[in-house]
Structure 1
Amino acid sequence: MSGAETAKLPAPKRRVLTGLAAALVSALLALVLGFRLEVLIEDAALVLLTPPVSPPDEIVLVAIDEDTLSHLPYRSPIDRAFLARMIRHIDAAAPRAIGVDILLDQPSEPDKDAALLSALGSAKSPIVMGYATGDDGLTAKQAKFLDQALKGLDKGLVTLSRDDFDGTVRTLYPGREVAGSFMPGLAAALAKIGGKTAPAGGRIRFYHDAAGHPLSFKTYPAHSAALLPADWFRDRYVLIGSALPTSDRHPTPFVTTLGAELGTPDGMAIHAHMLTQMLRGERILAPPPWAAAAIVLGMALIAALILSLPLAPLTGAAVLAGLIGAYLAGAYFLFSGRLVMLPAAMPVLAALLTAVLLAMGRWYRDRAERLFIEKAFSQYVSPAVVQRISRREHELSLGGEARIVTYVFTDLEGFTSLSESLAPDRIAALLNDYLDAVCGLYVEAEATIDKIVGDAVIGFFGAPEQQDDQACRAVELALAIDRFSEAHRRDLAAQGTRFGVTRIGVHKGKAIIGNFGGSRFFDYTGIGDTVNVAARLEAANRHLGTRICVSGSVAGDCPELKFRPVGDIVLKGKQVPIPAFEPLQMGALPPELEDGYASAYALMAGGDAGAGARFAELAEAFPDDALTGLHNGRLQGGETGPIITLKGK
Structure 2
Amino acid sequence: MNDKALKLLHVILPVLVGLIGLFLLLTEPSSLYRLRNNLFDQYQRSSPRVYEAAPVRIIDIDEASLERFGQWPWPRSRLAQIVDALQAAGAAAIGFDVVFAESDRTSPLPMADLWQVDALMRERLRALPDHDQTFAQSLARAPTVLGFALERTHRSGQLALETPENQLIRPYRYINSGASPAPWLSRFEFAVAALPLLQRAAHGNGALSFLPDNDGIVRRVPLALNLSGEPVSTLAAELLRVGQNTRNIYFRTDEHAGISEIRIGDLTIPTDAHGEFWVHYTQPVPARYIPAWKVLTGDAPAEELSGALTLIGTSAQGLLDLRFSALGRIIPGVEIHAQALEQILTGHFLVRPSWALGLEAVILLAAVALVSLLALRCRALLAASASALILAGILGGGWLAFRTYGLLFNTVTPALSVVLAFIAGSLIHAFVSEREQRWLKTAFARYVSPNRVTYLINHRESMALGGSKRECSFVFTDLEGFTGLMENTEPTVAVQFLNGYLDEMIAIAFRYEGTLDRIVGDAVAIMFSAPLPQADHRHRALACAMEMDDFACRYEKHLRAKGIAWGKTRIGIHTGDVVVGNFGGKTMFDYRALGDPVSTASRLEGANKYLGTNLCLSAAALPNSGKDSSHAAPICDIRPIGRLLLKGKTQSLQVYEPIAAFRATGYAPLADYCAAYALMVDSATDEATDSDRGTADNMTPYPASTTALAHEPQETHASHEASHDSPALQAFRQLAERFPDDPLVALHFNRLQHGACGALIVLDAK
The TM tier, using the shorter chain, reads 0.5 to 0.7
1:285 lines up with 2:351 in the alignment:
yes
Whole-angstrom CA distance in 2 between matches of 1:479 and 1:102: 99
Residue 299 to residue 497, structure 1, CA distance change in 2 (3 Å): closer
Whole-angstrom CA distance in 1 between matches of 2:439 and 2:210: 63
1:218 lines up with 2:288 in the alignment:
yes
Q: Displacement of 1:272 after TM fit?
A: 0.5
| SS of aligned partner of 1:132 | strand
Which of 252, 255, 279 lines up with 1:205 in the alignment? 279
Q: Displacement of 1:45 after TM fit?
A: 0.6
For each residue in 1:336-385, what CA deviation from the matched residue of structure 2 results, as whole angstroms up to 9, or x when unmatched? 11111222333222212221222233334555666788899999996437
Whole-angstrom CA distance in 1 between matches of 2:195 and 2:151: 11
Structure-1 residue corresponding to 2:98: 102
Task: Give the letter for the 2:339 counterpart.
Answer: H
* Deviates most, 114-123 or 191-200: 191-200
8 Å Cα contact 1:61/1:217 also seen in 2: no
**Where does 1:170-189 land on structure 2 (aligned, <5 Å)?**
170-178=219-227, 181-189=230-238
Q: Displacement of 1:331 after TM fit?
A: 2.3
Whole-angstrom CA distance in 2 between matches of 1:248 and 1:139: 19
Structure-2 residue corresponding to 1:419: none
Whole-angstrom CA distance in 1 between matches of 2:507 and 2:14: 41
Structure-2 residue corresponding to 1:301: 369
| SS of aligned partner of 1:140 | coil
**Where does 1:336-375 land on structure 2 (aligned, <5 Å)?**
336-367=403-434
8 Å Cα contact 1:35/1:346 also seen in 2: no
Residue 72 to residue 113, structure 1, CA distance change in 2 (3 Å): farther
**Where does 1:138-537 land on structure 2 (aligned, <5 Å)?**
139-140=158-159, 143=192, 146-147=195-196, 149-151=198-200, 153=202, 154-163=204-213, 165-178=214-227, 181-192=230-241, 193-194=243-244, 195-201=266-272, 203-208=277-282, 213-226=283-296, 227=298, 228-246=300-318, 247-255=320-328, 263-288=329-354, 290-291=357-358, 292-309=360-377, 311-367=378-434, 383-384=450-451, 387=454, 438-443=502-507, 473-475=519-521, 477=523, 500-502=564-566
1:63 lines up with 2:60 in the alignment:
yes
- Compute the TM-score of the two structures, normalised by the length of structure 2: 0.48
Structure-1 residue corresponding to 2:127: none
Whole-angstrom CA distance in 2 between matches of 1:372 and 1:479: 25
Structure-2 residue corresponding to 1:633: none
1:129 lines up with 2:146 in the alignment:
yes
Q: Displacement of 1:218 after TM fit?
A: 2.5
8 Å Cα contact 1:105/1:145 also seen in 2: yes
8 Å Cα contact 1:242/1:268 also seen in 2: yes
8 Å Cα contact 1:373/1:390 also seen in 2: no
Whole-angstrom CA distance in 2 between matches of 1:166 and 1:364: 42
* Deviates most, 172-181 or 233-242: 172-181
Whole-angstrom CA distance in 2 between matches of 1:79 and 1:337: 48
Structure-2 residue corresponding to 1:15: 10
Whole-angstrom CA distance in 1 between matches of 2:525 and 2:150: 103
Q: Displacement of 1:63 after TM fit?
A: 0.6
Whole-angstrom CA distance in 1 between matches of 2:366 and 2:196: 51
For each residue in 1:112-133, what CA deviation from the matched residue of structure 2 results, as whole angstroms up to 9, or x when unmatched? 111101111122xx22211223
- Measured on the aligned residues, the alpha-carbon RMSD in Å equals 4.7
For each residue in 1:247-279, what CA deviation from the matched residue of structure 2 results, as whole angstroms up to 9, or x when unmatched? 110001111xxxxxxx11111111001001111
8 Å Cα contact 2:136/2:201 also seen in 1: no
Q: Displacement of 1:143 after TM fit?
A: 2.7
Whole-angstrom CA distance in 1 between matches of 2:456 and 2:16: 30
For each residue in 1:566-625, what CA deviation from the matched residue of structure 2 results, as whole angstroms up to 9, or x when unmatched? xxxxxxxxxxxxxxxxxxx98999xxxxxxxxxxxxxxxxxxxxxxxxxxxxxxxxxxxx
Task: Give the letter for the 2:95 counterpart.
Answer: G
Task: Give the letter for the 2:59 counterpart.
Answer: V
Whole-angstrom CA distance in 1 between matches of 2:33 and 2:220: 16
Task: Give the letter for the 1:245 counterpart.
Answer: Q
Q: Displacement of 1:148 after TM fit?
A: 5.1
**Where does 1:535-550 land on structure 2 (aligned, <5 Å)?**
none
8 Å Cα contact 1:412/1:500 also seen in 2: no
For each residue in 1:15-56, what CA deviation from the matched residue of structure 2 results, as whole angstroms up to 9, or x when unmatched? 1212332444466578545432221121121232245234x2
Structure-2 residue corresponding to 1:42: 40
Whole-angstrom CA distance in 1 between matches of 2:66 and 2:525: 111
| SS of aligned partner of 1:320 | helix
Which of 127, 134, 153 lines up with 1:115 in the alignment? 134
Q: Displacement of 1:283 after TM fit?
A: 2.1
| SS of aligned partner of 1:169 | coil
Paired residues in the alignment total 429
| SS of aligned partner of 2:324 | coil
Q: Displacement of 1:223 after TM fit?
A: 2.1
Residue 103 to residue 36, structure 1, CA distance change in 2 (3 Å): same
Residue 242 to residue 588, structure 1, CA distance change in 2 (3 Å): closer
Q: Displacement of 1:490 after TM fit?
A: 13
